[in-house]
Structures are given as C-alpha cells and as structure tokens.
C-alpha cells in the first residue's frame, strides 16, 4: 500500500512539473519578435526586430544609454530588408539586407546601417558600417510601453522611418529610388 502511495505522489509531482513547464513555454516572450512592413512606390521594405517593454524601468538615458551604440531592440540584431535602393536621410542604401543600430542622444539620434547580418544584437562591427545618418527626435505626448519601429508611407516614393519608446520618437525620411 505504501508503495502505491509513493508511486501516486511521484506521478502527481511529475504531472505538476510537466504542467508548469508547458505553461512557461506558452508564456509570451519579454521582447516578442515584430515585423514592420511598408510598400513604397511598389517596393517592399521590411524591418524585423524584437520589441522590449518598459516594465517600469527608465529607458532613455537608463536602460538605453545615451551616446553609445544600441542594438535598437532586443535579442537578435534588427534587420532591414529592402527590394529597392533607398535614401535614408542622406544615406544611399542599395537593395538588400542590413542590420540597424542607433546611437541615441537626448536631442538627436544617429542611425547606423550595417552590412553584417545574422548576428546577435550586441555584436556590432563598425568596420561593416554602410553609413550613418542623423535622426530627428521629438517627445511623445504619453509614454509608450513597447519599443516600436514603423515605416510610414508618404506621398509617391517618400516615407518616414520612426522608432518610438517611452516618451521619445526618433525619425528620418526615407525615399525609394
């Protein structure tokens, strides 16, 4: 009888442990993968990134330090894929796949377009930079919990690339060739 009780308790413990593991696997990631897409002048532009959350933390000048290269998201490096050549601000970007990094500052951000792809977000090699461009910075009216990248279509072959988080928006014009 005692053996049956021990086996029953062991089975229940195993069942409970399995249920906990399954529940943890189904739990949403802290920085879920997101895809920003736009078609401008008939050409598709896609940015794939992981979107971290504020979770009651100071973001700009805290979690995201000023005047240092930031992975611009979380986890794997943020990628830009474009079917057509672009002008991002004053930077010519040929069609292809790239990694995006930024250098946030209080009043201006620098967008870095890097030719190395497929790396973890903290693996930045400055020798692989295609180029850098200044981004405009403005304040959002209310805090935004999740980091968001958007490609907004404008008129004709123009658009805007923007990064928003906490109370900060950094943006730069985009033009499809």
pLDDT tens, position by position, 32-79: 999 999 999 999 999 999 999 999 999 999 999 999 999 999 999 999
- Tell me the whole-structure pTM to 2 decimals: 0.84
Map residue 151 onto helix, strand or coil.
strand
pLDDT tens, position by position, 103-116: 999 999 999 999 99
Relative to beta strand 86-88, strand 108-114 is unpaired
Q: Side by side, which strands form the sheet with 43-50? A: 33-40, 43-50, 74-82, 96-103, 108-114, 129-153, 158-176, 86-88, 91-93
Altogether, the residues listed in the chain come to a count of: 177
Map residue 26 onto helix, strand or coil.
helix
């Amino acid at each position: 009888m005692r053996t049956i009780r021990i086996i029953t308790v062991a089975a229940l413990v195993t069942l409970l442990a399995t249920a906990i593991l399954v529940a943890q696997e189904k739990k949403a990631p802290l920085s879920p993968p997101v895809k920003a897409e736009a078609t401008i002048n008939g050409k598709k532009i896609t940015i794939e990134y992981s979107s971290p959350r504020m979770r009651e933390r100071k973001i700009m000048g805290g979690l995201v330090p000023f005047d240092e290269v930031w992975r611009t998201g979380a986890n794997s490096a943020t990628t830009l894929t474009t079917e057509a050549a672009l002008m991002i601000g004053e930077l010519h970007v040929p069609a292809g796949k790239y990694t995006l990094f930024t250098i946030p500052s209080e009043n201006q951000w620098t967008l870095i377009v890097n030719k190395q792809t497929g790396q973890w977000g903290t693996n930045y090699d400055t020798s692989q930079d295609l180029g850098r461009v200044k981004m405009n910075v403005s304040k959002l009216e209310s805090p935004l919990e999740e980091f968001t990248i958007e490609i907004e279509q404008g008129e004709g072959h123009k658009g805007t690339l923007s990064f928003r988080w906490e109370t900060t928006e950094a943006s730069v014009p985009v033009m499809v060739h």
